[in-house]
Amino acid sequence: MGICLKDVGIVCNIGQSKQTVLKSLIDGNANALVKDTNLPLTEPQFVGHVTLSLDEQSKAFSSRNNQLAYHAFKQIEHSFNEQAKGVDKKRIAVIIGTSTSGIAEGENARKALAQNKQYPDDFHYQTQEMIAPAHFIADLCQASGPVYSISTACSSSAKALVSAKALIEADIADIVIAGGVDSLARLTINGFKSLESVSTGKCAPFSEKRDGINIGEAAALFVMHSADSGIKLMGFGETSDAYHVSSPSPDGSGAISAMELALDMAQIESKQVDYVNLHGTATIKNDEMESLAMHAVCGNDVFCGSTKGMTGHTLGAAGALEAAICWLLLSDINSDNDIPANVGYEQQDSNLPAINLSQGQKVSSLKYCMSNSFAFGGNNLSLVLGR
């Protein structure tokens, strides 16, 4: 038996279903990042903005985060209901990674207070609590088992999947809805700008002229349970190098350990991995560190790349979104065994160790994928998915 990722729902700027997201990935959608003039305090920035066709029900939800989560949940609702037949609601858990929750709604409410001397009637502080999206999803599926959120920056929702695995293996839950959701907000857009981490154009992971990230938004939710077959979470590696509050350890030691631990748990060698979805933020320091780690663990033979050149960096949702991308590649939907190109890549930075960046190849087979999430504070996590 293993921990099966039964189904996944995905909403991001390159698609609002499994099929559309996979098609955009394989096509190498270089136009998915668009300029935003409303959120930045200074000049416009490229962002991964989700264009949602909101139905009347989801318009009534209290935050954009919940709207994104709702649309991801609707994609897995049938699979969840089938799996949950006869299962005690107390044995159903929800774990969600997020870093923004309803912060955008808090920003709007604060603006209304400044203008009108009172908050909007429909605003409540609970909207922006980190637990809010987990409670929201638990209400949708009537889960009464453990319900909580994880907020460890960019590794948040990857940790949600690891926590789901732990709950199932500890016999605390039979089914877990796990994943992540984050939405665009002024705080994150301008916060990363103040850190001088934002690209002046579209991000270019691992390129010589890379100069920073683009922020995106997304939701990705998995139905997880114990099973003999299907796409499985085979291994994970968690480390904390605690080198700096916002910069990774330059020697890549924390990332190397996370990748090696994940491979050891999955009981495979690095050469067996068919594709690694790199954290690949396109900042100078991350790409230096990660290429060093990737080369140390996998050499220059394993295909790898960052998909943030299409989706942007979706912060707390990134771990789940990029695990979902690996899930799509391993699934029967990807009948041609395609892997996505490292969009935005131009000329290789000669200062980086050689790694095998994907240009959008077809491979003979896809059995194992790895996904890296390396967060602020040296909070590192690698996942291995396999079929």
Q: Which residues are catalytic?
A: 154, 279, 313
Res. 26 pLDDT band, cuts 50 70 90: very high
What are the boundaries of each domain within the chain? 2-386
Q: State residue 346's pLDDT score.
A: 79
Amino acid letter for position 355: I
Q: State residue 243's pLDDT score.
A: 85
Pairing of strands 45-48, 215-216: parallel
44-48, 107-111, 212-216, 290-294: segment of lowest average pLDDT:
107-111
* Cβ pair 236, 265 in contact under 8 A: yes
**What predicted TM-score, i.e. pTM, was given to this entire model?**
0.96
Question: Considering the chain, what percentage of its residues have pLDDT values greater than 70?
Answer: 98
- Residue 103 has phi, psi (to 5 degrees) of -60, -40
Res. 244 pLDDT band, cuts 50 70 90: confident
* Cβ pair 215, 47 in contact under 8 A: yes
- Residue 253 has phi, psi (to 5 degrees) of -60, -40
Give the distance, in angstroms, between the CA of residue 20 and the centroid of all CA atoms in the same chain: 17
Q: State residue 96's pLDDT score.
A: 98
Span 168-210, pLDDT tens digits: 999 999 999 999 999 999 999 999 999 999 999 999 999 999 9
Res. 249 pLDDT band, cuts 50 70 90: confident
How many CA atoms within 13 Å lie on the side-chain side of 212?
Answer: 16
Instruction: Give the residue among 66, 84, 87 at the shortest CA–CA distance from 76.
Output: 84
Res. 251 pLDDT band, cuts 50 70 90: very high
Amino acid letter for position 291: S
Sheet holding 2-12, edge to edge: 147-150, 92-97, 175-182, 218-227, 2-12, 232-240, 379-386, 368-375, 275-277, 303-305, 356-357
- Residue 246 has phi, psi (to 5 degrees) of -135, -5
| Helical axes 253-266 vs 284-298, angle rounded to 10° | 40
Q: State residue 58's pLDDT score.
A: 53
Q: What average pLDDT does this structure show over 298-321?
A: 97
Q: State residue 59's pLDDT score.
A: 53
Q: What is the DSSP string of 128-157?
A: GSTTHHHHHHHHHHT--S-EEEE--GGGHH
Q: 214 by DSSP, 3-state: which?
A: coil
Q: Which one is the CATH code of 2-386: 3.40.640.10, 3.40.47.10, 3.40.50.720, 3.30.420.10? A: 3.40.47.10
Q: State residue 376's pLDDT score.
A: 87
* Cβ pair 370, 294 in contact under 8 A: no
How far apart are the two ends of the chain, measured CA to CA in Å?
13
Q: What average pLDDT does this structure show over 16-24?
A: 97
